[in-house]
Structure 1
């Protein structure tokens, strides 16, 4: 018998997208989250002792390739300040200094939106307006006096339960949107409690639903509040990482995420075999029943010509094979991340074709361009709230595409080197391996050349001498 659906039940489209979010959340949570997931991402092998598995799980550490790549790539469009164009109304420019009424300016808000879209594939911007009393607020001056104005809300798709839409005027338009929220209610004199609720948006009105107890001790979802909105539309704008349809998307780095899980499993195996290899086994053959004492001042005696006593050690072949396998996985993960920076011929928009601009763009530039368009749309909704004719436009930095995969992966490694997570020496050899550095050069010689380039201390001036003396 099928489970009864409620206002809280995710739609089929959301459930399909959510299947990919679980691994993303675990990887972004780092080593602790991956350990907590247990057998979901670190299998318990057949006949493996439960205690041995627990030890293996507690000592496993995550190589955070996915999280680091998301951070580096989503940061590139915001390595330069977001530009608010001159056609933006002055008061919207002022509101952009605190666009979400939580202290984030538009640049910081957009950067967080980009990170979420890069990781999960999609995120939303809800343009909201605080509820005001019509008795207290009757004019624009009244709104200014109480600080009432539209603001942005970041809606993560993990809090999206479903939607309905239909084509209006040739445009696919939202007619219903369900959002999962957390309401905070008093719990006694000193405490508060969090209550799960669903907000349902319609054009021009809204509802909130909560689960309440009914007769017989059961619970059911009931409408607890409702109201009207002055906007005749649902003021929600999706931002896509990799769009698959209206309101739907997939994580652009999903393949990297799965490779990162494989690396987590393989690295755990490598740690296990290293532990085994580092502990040699003492092998005794035909030594009789006499106790064995091993040490620098001890001797072991055997009455048999076939007697033997020796340490049996691992040959190391499997260790080397595992090390190479891990390195190959790391290379593949870097390449998947780097592919988003490679300009692809023919990947042009209609606007670019008409303007005769560059013949192509990289995936990251496309994501940034989509983000820019979504912010423009959200600014327009903000303008409509306050009867401004236009919301203006923004520009997001997009000049970071490269021509080849080798150059793109080198860009990622260089960013890691700058923030201290990749050494100078490793960066040198990775550049050499990609053919970007001449093969006859050595790191030792290059270090000497770098030392010669260091600024030399200048001779003390008269002012320095006076200050010192």
Structure 2
């Protein structure tokens, strides 16, 4: 009986510093508002009601979430290719790899998005607990088979490893999961509860919070255990910026920090715009008589020092704020684009054998790590069903850009295709990067596009 089973270890805490911020950014405007003063601090001497109003009107520019979505989707613009060495029994699992109707391609895309966003995730190759089933033939007849489970970074609690036969190997894994707990008094009101699963080589345990008979205090207690019929922990980490075994950092962490800065600066800009749009009427030496302000009214005074005027913002701070926001947008786009820029000298084994090939970009290296991890997970499928070799798959990696301008334009095009960037803005941003002549006008180009016949399979700007 221990409550420590629910606590995150120091090893995980060390790599989880950015995870709450990333979770909020991926949650969009509503999640950022819910985070409140964590990412939108209250100004000194700012009235609570004024702050709450400022928080409720703040909106997030989703640079981080869009970039994660675009970059993680690039390797999956083409289907995953199974190798000829994949046995038919394993290949048959690919159409429903998680027993929830998700095929291998979609599952891998989702878990890679987790890796790009948080820097770490994982695939657990699980196996249903079969009651009163004694042979593989009986399991096969009942349709019982291994399947993939996605383990998100934020659910990881601890791990231990050691080098076995020259390879770093997991010897302990602890993670949080959520399960449905049926309500015995109603068939329509299940509740979701937390539980901790602990995996050691050769065994598994489940812990849940239970109310104690004496005092009513809730404690984490072991509620179930069993034997792993496999001589290893069937978990494979998915990395972002891999630093070592089960050690990685979010590849877009700097973009996340900048996106929070943009959230704060944009709130400041909205506030100053509100102030600037409401001029203040200033009067001096007008006497004590009531004053009516309107187009058909006149205000008279016999005092030569009398004055009445509107005090308005000069607008200089507004222009400076707008420039600052645009600079932040450019910097955020550049950080995302840098993952697509090929850096000579960083080569794979295949490229070492073919010296005429160019180097790889950071995203291509991440996809290489992903492919290795998925191949290992497929081998665990084979281990569960007592097949010697699970085979291999290939993930599309023929992307990457020669320059930062080309890479950022590629990201802009993806945003335009997804509908999150207008055709005109896409045109002007590409032009600003020198990829289109400055002499070409958008209005003229739009007319040319409208007149030309559509090209099969080509992305075309709408008129």
TM-score (norm 1): 0.93
Instruction: State the shift of 1:296 in Å.
Output: 1.9
1:46 pairs with 40, 44, 47, which one? 44
Partner of 1:467: none
CA offsets 1:34-81 (integer angstroms, 9 cap, x no match): 001000000001011111101000000000000010011111111111
The 2-side partners of 1:185 and 1:439 are apart by: 63
- Please show how residues 66-81 of structure 1 align to structure 2 within 5 Å: 66-81=64-79
Q: Which residue of 188, 191, 194 maps to 2:192?
A: 194
Matched, 1:154 2:153: no
Task: Decide which of 207, 210, 213 is 2:208's aligned counterpart.
Answer: 210
The superposition leaves residues 387-420 of structure 1 with CA deviations (integer Å, 9 ceiling, x where unpaired) of 2121111111111100000010011111111122
Alpha-carbon distance change, 92 to 451 in structure 1, aligned in 2, over 3 angstroms: same
Query: Is the Cα contact below 8 Å between 2:201 and 2:233 reproduced in 1?
Result: yes
Aligned match of 2:458: none
How far the C-alpha of 1:355 sits from its partner, in A, is: 4.0
How many Å apart are 1:5 and its aligned residue? 6.5
CA-CA distance at 1:287 after TM superposition: 1.6
Moved more, 188-197 or 53-62: 188-197
1:138 to 135, 142, 145: 135
Contact kept, 8 Å, 1:99 with 1:109, in 2: the verdict is yes
Deviates more, 1:24-33 or 1:190-199: 190-199
Indicate which of 100, 103, 115 corresponds to 1:102. 100
* SS at 1:7 equivalent: helix
Cα separation, 2, equivalents of 1:218 and 1:50: 37
| Structure 2 Cα separation of the partners of residues 7 and 205 of structure 1 | 16
Greater Rg by CA: 1
Report the alpha carbon displacement of residue 200 of structure 1 after superposing the two structures with TM: 0.9
In the TM superposition, what is the alpha-carbon distance from 1:112 to its structure 2 partner? 0.2
Q: Figure out how many residues of one structure are paired with residues of the other and give that number.
A: 451
Conserved? CA contact 2:114–2:153, under 8 Å: no
Aligned pairs (5 A) from 1:5-20:
6-20=4-18
Counterparts of 2:356 and 2:193, CA distance in 1: 52
Which residues in structure 2 correspond to 1:433-452 (within 5 Å)? 433-452=432-451
| Distance (Å, rounded) in 2 between the aligned partners of 1:290 and 1:389 | 98
Relative to structure 2, which stretch is displaced further, 239-248 or 43-52?
Answer: 239-248
- Partner-residue secondary structure (3-state), 1:206: strand
Q: Could you tell me which runs of 5 or more consecutive residues in structure 1 were left unpaired when the two chains were aligned.
A: 456-469
- Structure 1 range deviating more: 439-448 or 315-324: 439-448
In 2: Cα distance, 1:342 partner to 1:112 partner: 23
Q: Which residue matches 1:425? A: 424
2:92 is paired with a residue whose SS is helix
Q: Does 2:170 correspond to 1:179?
A: no
Of residues 73-82 and 186-195 in structure 1, the stretch that sits farther from structure 2 once superposed is 186-195
Give yes or no for contact 1:84–1:395 (8 Å, CA) kept in 2.
yes
Q: For residues 31 and 307 of structure 2, what CA distance do their matches in structure 1 show?
A: 49
CA distance in 1, matches of 2:192, 2:448: 61
CA distance in 2, matches of 1:88, 1:356: 30
RMSD: 1.7
Instruction: Show the 5 A alignment for 1:2-401.
Output: 6-133=4-131, 135-140=132-137, 142-190=138-186, 191-214=189-212, 215-356=214-355, 358-401=357-400
Aligned-pair distance for 1:86? 1.4
SS state of the match for residue 4, structure 2?
coil
In 2, distance between residues paired with 1:419 and 1:178? 38
Task: Deviation per CA, 1:126-161: give whole Å up to 9, x if none.
Answer: 11111113x434242x12211111111111121111
Q: Quick check: 1:127–1:236 contact (8 Å CA) kept in 2?
A: yes
Do the aligned partners of 2:112 and 2:370 also contact (CA within 8 Å) in 1?
yes
- Structure 2 counterpart of 1:460: none
- The CA deviation at 1:16 is 1.5
- Write the distance in 2 (CA, Å) between the matches of 1:405 and 1:120: 24
Deviation, 1:87, is 1.1
Deviations 1:212-260, CA, capped at 9 Å, x for gaps: 3444443433222111121011011111011122112111100000000
C-alpha separation in 1, matches of 2:439 and 2:446: 14
In the alignment, the residues of structure 2 paired with residue 237 and residue 212 of structure 1 have an alpha-carbon distance, to the nearest angstrom, of 31
Q: Mean Cα displacement is larger for which, 229-238 or 422-431?
A: 422-431
CA shift for structure 1 position 189:
2.1
SS at match of 1:415: helix
Are 2:3 and 2:220, in contact at CA under 8 Å, matched by a contact in 1?
A: no
The structural deviation recorded for 1:277 is: 0.4
CA distance in 1, matches of 2:376, 2:199: 18
Q: Residues 61-111 of structure 1: CA distance to partner in whole angstroms, max 9, x if unpaired?
A: 000000010011111111111111111111211110000001100000011
Note closer, same or farther for the CA distance 1:228–1:355 as it changes in structure 2 (3 Å cut).
farther
- Aligned-residue offset at 1:439: 1.7
In structure 2, what is the Cα distance between the partners aligned to 1:270 and 1:323?
Answer: 7
